[in-house]
Structure 1
Amino acid sequence: MATWDDIRAAALPLPGAEEDVWYGEPMFRVGRKGFVQTWRGRVIMKLERNHQELLFEARPDVFSPYVAGALRWSFVDLSALAPAEAADLAREAWTQVVPKKISRAFAAEQAASAPA
């Protein structure tokens, strides 16, 4: 079962990521753009749109849409995820808000440092 601490451990090492508070609830952002936060006690993530649609269909008990105006995020039930999956989703959400040249450089760095 994943926790907010698993999200924190994955998010804070990401370039530009900061932990903050939004309306009294924890969030992670890059600059002014949030990528993972809680809203009324539920976790929401800014995932890639096509991946969101797939998750909504394949695992509706874990992922559901959160729409606020033009924004479309995903409610995520952390208790239904393994810590590694939650960390992967947090990194995916980060890639949605950080400049592409930064996310690509980070991915290349991670691939180069991965054990063979």
Structure 2
Amino acid sequence: MFETTHLHITTWVIGLILFFVAVGLHKSGQVKGSKISHMVLRLFYLLIIGTGAALFFIHSSIDPALYGVKFLLGVLVIGFMEMVLVRSKKGKPTGVMWILLILALLGTLYLGFRLPVGFNFFM
């Protein structure tokens, strides 16, 4: 089941879609829809971490350091996503969190696609 990355990629793509839906609903003033999508997104955080941890424990013997860094960056992406949503609900500035989210997401995607188990976009 965890020999490929399909389940993990599916969960984080759905998670990113839910994140942008929650941000959009919050900006449009639909509090109830934003709250519901945020709660579903939190469930997907658990699925993302679970599938990522399973991949990590199965494949980390290939390159433990880089897989560890990718795992850490992935957890940071989830943390920054949550920080953007919570800070925007509280009316606090989110500019720095958006920048950190984008940097962590790009780093995670780069490592995920560069490492042997991921797709080989970067030869």
Same fold (TM over 0.5): no
Q: Point out the structure with max Rg over C-alpha.
A: 2
Structure having the higher strand fraction is 1
Scaled by the length of structure 1, the TM-score of the pair is: 0.26
Scaled by the length of structure 2, the TM-score of the pair is: 0.25
Structure having the higher helix fraction is 2
